[in-house]
Amino acid sequence: MGRKPFRLLQEEDRTFAMYLKDRYEKVPKKPLTSAERKRAYDKKRQILQTIEDITWFEKNWPEAQLQLIFKAETIIPFVRALVDIGPLPTKHPHTPTPEQESKRKRIQELCRQILYELSAKSHIIAPEATRVLIADRTDRDTATRLAALLIGH
């Protein structure tokens, strides 16, 4: 008998996630039951542990293995989902919903921190481009280091 493939989310988890999303989008919002809160908390803990485990693998696995996993085809769909705030309301397209505004602020902070981390490593990721861009500059600002990453690509 073959092994069952590992999945973080089982079908019942997906159903529960969609149920929670519907509950949060309805007005007025009904409070979650104790069982629902516990299940949501447990899933959150699982997800955080999975992120921690993936981070460990990124730091400790050989590059040959990482190249098979961490590539554009596998990472970009996650990034797209991470930064998608969803469709704006049709009635007032320039006014995001409170949930969209909250997500926008969260995405803004994530992007700021990601860009900072990338810019801090530009001299390692794209050394030649970084040297060229900062040759005549005394200040090594974030925009310059990010430009080096783009040029060094």
Express each pLDDT in 26-41 by its tens digit.
767 778 889 999 999 9
- 35-49, 118-132, 137-151: least confident range: 137-151
Q: Please check the confidence at residue 73 and state whether its pLDDT lies above 90.
A: yes
Q: State the Cα–Cα distance between residues 137 and 119, nearest whole angstrom.
A: 16
Q: Is 150 in a helix, a strand, or coil?
A: helix
Domain boundaries, the chain: 8-70, 72-86+97-153
- HSE at residue 116, side-chain half, CA atoms within 13 A, is 6
| Tens digit of each residue's pLDDT (9 = 90 or more) over 63-72 | 999 999 999 9
pTM for this model (two decimals): 0.71
Handedness of CA 14, 16, 19, 24 (dihedral sign): negative
